Amino acid sequence: MSEKNIIDHKSLFDQMPVKRYLVERVDDEFVIATVNKLASKFFNKSAEDLVGKTLREVLSNINYTHMHESLDVSYTKNVPVTLPALPELLNEMQSSGYWISPVCDDDNNVIFLDIISQPSTTDISIIERERDDALSLLTSIFDASEVGILVFDRNRRIIKINDSFERIYGWPHEETIGVDFLEFVTDDEVAPAKLMFNNFIKTEERESGEVKIFCKDGTIANTAFTTATLKLSHGRKFQVTTIVDITKWKQINMSLKLAKEGADAANNAKSSFLANMSHELRTPLNAIIGFSEMMMNESFGPLGNPKYNEYLGDVFMSAKHLLEIINEVLDMSKIEAGKIELDEQEIDLNGLIEILMRIMKSRSANSGIQIKEAYQDDIPKLYADPRLIRQILINLVTNSIKYSLNGGTITVSTSLNAKNEIEVDVADQGVGIPEDRIKDAMEPFGQIHDPSTHSEIYQGTGLGLPLAKAMVELHGGVFSLKSKEGVGTTVKMSFSSSRTVKNN
């Protein structure tokens, strides 16, 4: 190393802004080999007076004892050691601790220990530097934020705003600084905003909410705010508030609310119309059905021409069909309006189905369609509304009869699964539903088969399946349908174990 480099290194060592000195071990003592200016100042001796002195001679007993052990470890084990200052030695050491590092020769033998003091946390210059860095960071965050930020003093006067507040709401810095924030709040919200601010100053609790403020262009912005306390020296407190413009969100929310209210009103009007129309239509239909049945039975004497009996049969069947349609429409409207209340009882499900199937078999006899029953023995009772359960089964079996071919079979079965849920299946071998149209079949008024290409027996309201599904779900059950065109359809209904009545 050249003499110039040696001088440069010595100058760097000497000018370091922290205390630094080298010591060498002589017997069990550590002797000062060289010191820099700050170390010399710390010991209050010149470098010439310090060199050759032991640490025991220049340090207090407690300071020496605290340092000696660390020096011994670093020298003996050839490892760097960090030595924190004892709390009671902070003032004496004028440092928060020391870094002790071995200096070795070419054979890795320790010849010196390099002792460098750690900067004191009470060093004013360090504190000021850290404060300036923190303020610089906070200022960058303040200005870079995409939401408006305001800082108020105890009197609600604005002392600082960020660029986003000026950009979003149009108020320049010179028109806001020193102004009471309530000047920017709409008249209807001045009182609650004032109360909120006063409460915040007293309690310092974080606040959040909504407030309407004036923009520079005269428009009003709906905003959401969050506040926090900023405490400085001498008891000074400031309120830091972030403000987010939610005007568009409010407008969208209001539009959705109005749309929902409109939809609810339209739905209520539809339900009311269907209920009224169903009542008005059912009254004359019941009269038509009753009078035509009396005439068919010739209750008051013979009609004369046999053709009249044929026509009366058509009138009777058409009226009954129309009444069924009206009843289905009315049931669906009540379900959609949430106006159906369950009249729940314990039901002997197998017995109920057996009675219904005797009726349904008479309807299917002329079509050559066979209805089979497969009941699980000793199936528990079902806690449900018997009227709706009957309606569900009538709808499903009627549907199966309508779409079954001559000589087909419909199977109605009951079972209890491993989850203690009662299941009811209705399976047929009918025309089936195309797999891509099953979803349509489950929609109210959904028509799967085109009347122009299929027999009129396939025509209906399209409410049978949706009604059955809705009634099952009213009981908290699960309704599923599997179908394949040309193979048939299977409907499975599962009722929760909570509706299974335990046998005594």
Contact between residue 490 and residue 426 where contact means Cβ atoms under 8 Å apart: yes
- Give me the mean pLDDT over the 220-233 stretch: 80
Please tell me the distance from the alpha carbon of residue 184 to that of residue 219, in angstroms, as a whole number. Answer: 11
Tokens at residue 264, please? Answer: 């609810």
Q: Confirm if 426 and 491 have CB atoms less than 8 A apart.
A: yes
> CATH code for 259-336?
1.10.287
- Tokens matching residue 443: 């929609």
Instruction: Give the per-residue pLDDT at 65.
Output: 84
Output the 3-class SS for 373-416.
Answer: EECCCCCCEEEECHHHHHHHHHHHHHHHHHHCCCCCEEEEEEEE
Residue 478 pLDDT more than 50? Answer: yes
Mean pLDDT calculated for residue range 409-426 = 92
pLDDT confidence bin for 461, thresholds 50/70/90: low
Helix or strand holding residue 308 (H, E): helix 306-336
Pick 465 or 131 by higher pLDDT.
465
- The position carrying tokens 């009540």 is 334
Q: How far apart are CA 497 and CA 382, in angstroms?
A: 9
- Give the containing element (helix H, strand E) for 49: helix 47-50
- Using one digit for the tens of pLDDT, what is the confidence trace for 48-90? 999 999 989 988 888 888 888 889 989 999 999 888 876 555 4
Determine the 3-state secondary structure of 203 from DSSP.
helix
DSSP, residue by residue, 442-504:
TSTT---S-TTTS-GGG-S-S-HHHHHHHHHHHTT-EEEEEEETTTEEEEEEEE-GGGEEPP-
Work out the average pLDDT over 368-380: 88
Burial label for 174, CB within 10 Å (0-12, 13-18, 19+), is exposed
Q: How confident is the model at residue 198 (pLDDT cuts 50, 70, 90)?
A: confident
Compute the C-alpha angle 261/267/273, nearest 5°. 135
Alpha helices in 60-153 (DSSP H): 61-77, 90-93, 124-144
Kind and range of the H or E element at 363?
helix 349-364
Residue 168, strand partner residues:
none
Measured between its terminal Cα atoms, the distance across the chain in Å is 104
Higher-confidence position of 158 and 460 = 158
Assess contact for 244 and 147: CB atoms under 8 A: yes
Q: What is the pLDDT of residue 455?
A: 46
Q: At 33, is the pLDDT very low, low, confident or very high (cuts 50, 70, 90)? A: very high
Residue range 1-7: average pLDDT? 47
The answer to whether 110 and 78 are in contact (CB under 8 A) is yes
Class level of CATH domain 3-121: alpha beta
The torsion angles phi and psi of 174, rounded to 5 degrees, stand at -65, -20
| pLDDT confidence bin for 240, thresholds 50/70/90 | confident
Give yes or no on whether 125-245 and 345-501 have one common fold.
no
Q: Are strands 20-26 and 110-117 parallel, antiparallel or unpaired?
A: antiparallel
Superfamily of domain 345-501 in CATH is Histidine kinase-like ATPase, C-terminal domain (3.30.565.10)
**What average pLDDT does the segment 454-483 reach?**
78
Q: Where are the domains of the chain?
A: 3-121, 125-245, 259-336, 345-501
Fold classification of 125-245 is Beta-Lactamase (3.30.450)
Residue 40 has pLDDT above 70, yes or no: yes
What is the H or E stretch that residue 498 is in?
none
Token reading at 494:
């599962």
User: For 114-159, how does the pLDDT look when each residue is reduced to its tens digit (9 = 90+)?
Assistant: 998 887 655 555 555 555 555 565 666 677 777 888 888 878 888 8
- The segment with the largest mean pLDDT, out of 5-14, 49-58, 293-302, is 49-58
**Mean pLDDT, the chain, as a whole number?**
80
With 0.85 as the threshold, say if the pTM is over it.
no
Beta carbons within 8 Å of 136's beta carbon, 6+ residues apart:
none
- Please work out, in degrees rounded to the nearest 5, the angle formed at the alpha carbon of residue 361 by the alpha carbons of 356 and 365: 165
CB 11 within 8 A of CB 32: no
pLDDT of residue 384: 93
> DSSP letter string over 131-191?
HHHHHHHHHHHHHH-SSEEEEE-TTSBEEEE-HHHHHHH---GGGTTT-BGGGGB-GGGHH
Region 422-435: mean pLDDT is 90
Count CA atoms within 13 Å of residue 237 on its CB side: 16
The whole-number pLDDT of residue 498 equals 92
Would you state the structure tokens that stand for residue 86, as one six-digit string?
Answer: 């004892």
Query: Which token pair is 277?
Result: 């129309």
Q: In which region does residue 234 sit, left (phi positive, over 0), alpha (psi from -120 to 50) or beta (all else)? A: left
What's the rounded Cα separation, in Å, for the pair 115 and 101?
7
* pLDDT higher than 80, residue 261: yes
Question: What integer pLDDT is reported at residue 504 of this predicted model?
Answer: 59
The residues, any chain, with a CB within 8 Å of residue 39's CB and separated by 6 or more, are 19, 20, 21, 50, 117
- The span from the CA of 304 to the CA of 458, in Å, is 35
Neighbours of 107 (CB within 10 A): 6
Helix ranges (H only) for 178-305 are 190-203, 247-296
CB 425 within 8 A of CB 355: no
